[in-house]
């Protein structure tokens, strides 16, 4: 255990290394580049590999290739690069290839403000690729949590054979905080399910569960991987019952494991009639506002989501049932609030938005409380 002062972006790289990441492919982009710089320096030290690809499309493709080859793989980017990665993120979802995509959000749309923070990609992280699919999206609120969620992102990715998006932002990414780095050997690592019977191997079927074992190329399992809808062996299919079976199994991975996937923190007070619900950098503002409100004698619940997708529906429903209004501060024009509104029923959802690159301030939340 060592105590270090580091940036959120560095902590993500450290978390990835601790989780067993051994391949990184990326393309420079502000404000995520520190992740690539640390990985290029640290990966060779542990026998891992780094490559700077020609663009973000290639970076996403390369980490899928690396994962198929058996290496835990990651890329990091920001808004414009994240947009370019979307097609191949969908490929990873369709082919069930574990990999981690870090998006250090910056102000958009387009080139926007590369050095300004934003939470504008919440919906892109969920729906950015074409076609319907589920995906896991995690969002840290501190440097320490950047490390923890990077580890968690790899573990969920390998456990459920799915791409996982680590959705951080310029503030958390560039902020420096002290962090207690654990000995990497002591960090819990999840390895992908494997099999030892090449002759009966079915890469997209598991009779005993929803997650099929994943064999690496070059290890004696010759099988087919495709972005087309496919049968249990990976061969393209147009048969509706095969497509339906795929949809059911893959959606079950998320629907049946909500307890494992959904991470959030609840700081509730008995008889509170209002709540602040947030995530990422805005959750820090939310906590500050909560303290001021409580100091004034107001009862307020604080809900901080680390898993943004799948949306923590049951927990937010429960919160909505106990309070009259939920205040949702976020650095966009209102994205996560849309989901809160969806499950809040007739309870009031108050949006507090700032989409100009600056943080939501505690005063903005306090004004919303008084309004």
State the residues that interact with other proteins by CB under 8 A.
2, 4, 14, 17-18, 23, 25, 42-49, 51, 53-55, 57-59, 61-71, 73, 87-88, 91, 181, 183-185, 216-228, 233, 235-236
Nearer to other proteins, 71 or 276 (CB): 71
CA 231 – CA 334 distance, rounded (Å): 40
Closest distance to other proteins from the beta carbon of 152 (Å): 17
Tokens (6 digits) for 168: 């951080």
Nearer to other proteins, 129 or 162 (CB): 129
Query: Are the C-beta atoms of 75 and 104 separated by less than 8 Å?
Result: no
Instruction: Select from 212, 91, 72 the least CA-distant residue to 151.
Output: 72
Instruction: Select from 128, 77, 127 the least CA-distant residue to 105.
Output: 77
b/e per residue 95-116 (b: at least 16 CB within 10 A): bbbbbbbbbbbbbbeeebeeeb
Nearer to other proteins, 87 or 177 (CB): 87
Query: Are the C-beta atoms of 286 and 304 separated by less than 8 Å?
Result: yes
Nearer to other proteins, 89 or 165 (CB): 89
CA 330 – CA 87 distance, rounded (Å): 27
Query: Are the C-beta atoms of 39 and 217 separated by less than 8 Å?
Result: no
Closest distance to other proteins from the beta carbon of 96 (Å): 13
Nearer to other proteins, 68 or 343 (CB): 68
Closest distance to other proteins from the beta carbon of 66 (Å): 4
Nearer to other proteins, 185 or 259 (CB): 185
Closest distance to other proteins from the beta carbon of 202 (Å): 11
Residues 6 or more apart from 62 whose CB is under 8 A from it?
25, 51, 53, 75
Closest distance to other proteins from the beta carbon of 52 (Å): 10
Closest distance to other proteins from the beta carbon of 57 (Å): 7
Nearer to other proteins, 176 or 296 (CB): 176
Grouping H, G, I as helix, E, B as strand and the rest as coil, residue 143 is helix
Query: Are the C-beta atoms of 116 and 106 separated by less than 8 Å?
Result: yes
CA 164 – CA 221 distance, rounded (Å): 25
Closest distance to other proteins from the beta carbon of 229 (Å): 12
């Amino acid at each position: 255990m060592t105590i270090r002062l580091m940036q959120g972006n560095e902590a993500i790289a450290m978390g990835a290394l601790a989780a067993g990441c051994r391949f990184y492919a990326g393309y420079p982009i502000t404000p995520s580049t520190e992740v690539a710089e640390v990985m290029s320096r640290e990966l060779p030290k542990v026998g891992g590999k780094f490559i700077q690809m020609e663009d973000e499309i290639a970076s996403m493709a390369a980490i899928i290739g690396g994962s198929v080859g058996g290496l835990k793989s990651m890329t990091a980017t920001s808004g414009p690069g994240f947009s370019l990665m979307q097609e191949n993120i969908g490929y990873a979802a369709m082919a069930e290839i574990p990999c981690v995509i870090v998006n250090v959000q910056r102000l958009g749309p387009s080139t926007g403000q590369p050095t300004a923070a934003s939470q504008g990609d919440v919906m892109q992280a969920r729906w950015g690729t074409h076609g319907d699919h589920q995906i896991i999206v995690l969002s840290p609120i501190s440097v320490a949590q950047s490390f923890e969620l990077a580890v968690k992102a790899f573990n969920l990715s390998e456990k459920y054979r799915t791409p996982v998006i680590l959705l951080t932002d310029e503030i958390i990414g560039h902020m420096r905080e002290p962090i207690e780095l654990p000995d990497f050997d002591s960090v819990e690592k999840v390895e992908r399910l494997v099999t030892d019977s090449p002759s009966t191997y079915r890469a997209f079927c598991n009779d005993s569960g929803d997650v099929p074992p994943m064999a690496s190329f070059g290890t004696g399992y010759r099988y087919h991987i495709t972005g087309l809808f496919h049968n249990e062996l990976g061969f393209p299919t147009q048969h509706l019952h095969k497509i339906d079976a795929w949809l059911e199994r893959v959606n079950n991975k998320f629907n049946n494991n909500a307890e494992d996937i959904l991470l959030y923190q609840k700081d509730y007070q008995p008889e509170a009639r209002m709540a602040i619900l947030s995530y990422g950098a805005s959750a820090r503002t939310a906590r500050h506002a909560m303290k001021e409100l409580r100091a004034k004698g107001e009862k307020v619940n604080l809900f901080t989501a680390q898993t943004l997708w799948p949306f923590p529906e049951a927990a937010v429903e429960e919160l909505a049932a106990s309070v009259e209004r939920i205040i949702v501060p976020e650095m966009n024009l209102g994205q996560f609030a849309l989901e809160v509104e969806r499950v809040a029923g007739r309870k009031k959802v108050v949006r507090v938005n700032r989409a100009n690159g600056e943080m939501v301030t505690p005063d903005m939340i306090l004004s919303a409380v008084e309004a």
